[in-house]
Amino acid sequence: QQQVKQSPQSLIVQKGGISIINCAYENTAFDYFPWYQQFPGKGPALLIAIRPDVSEKKEGRFTISFNKSAKQFSLHIMDSQPGDSATYFCAATKDDKIIFGKGTRLHILP
């Protein structure tokens, strides 16, 4: 059973464009929603996160939008740069369990 559904699987964006990755969850008990960024051959690293009592969080060029009623959240990368090319994972947390989506491979064209 896939508890966190992530789309798209891959994404190609022109340099300077906006990259948007979407996630949906099923369990309303999840109480923390992080995004992780992974470069090839490395472990993922926390990028940005949000709690369900907030509808939006922005850190630099990265923004999370959260829709509690729809059980959906998304990552927006503004002014996308070639250095943003990586795999992005959304996740949802309940107690000590952290469940990840399947990931989105993002490629920014120079």
Partner 1 sequence: SQTIHQWPATLVQPVGSPLSLECTVEGTSNPNLYWYRQAAGRGLQLLFYSVGIGQISSEVPQNLSASRPQDRQFILSSKKLLLSDSGFYLCAWSVLKEKLFFGSGTQLSVL
11 versus 49: smaller Cβ distance to partner 1: 49
85 versus 104: smaller Cβ distance to partner 1: 104
Q: How far is the CB of 21 from partner 1 (least distance, A)?
A: 13
- Give the span between the Cα atoms of 45 and 14, in whole angstroms: 24
DSSP assignment letter at 32: B
1 versus 69: smaller Cβ distance to partner 1: 1
Q: How far is the CB of 82 from partner 1 (least distance, A)?
A: 23
Q: How far is the CB of 91 from partner 1 (least distance, A)?
A: 8
How far is C-alpha 45 from the chain's CA centre? 12
Binding residues (CB under 8 A) for partner 1: these are: 6, 9, 32, 34, 36, 41-46, 49, 89, 91, 93, 95-103
Contact 36, 24 (CB under 8 A): no
Cα of first residue to Cα of last residue in the chain, in angstroms, is 38
Q: Quick one: which of 108, 97, 110, 98 has its CA closest to 36?
A: 98
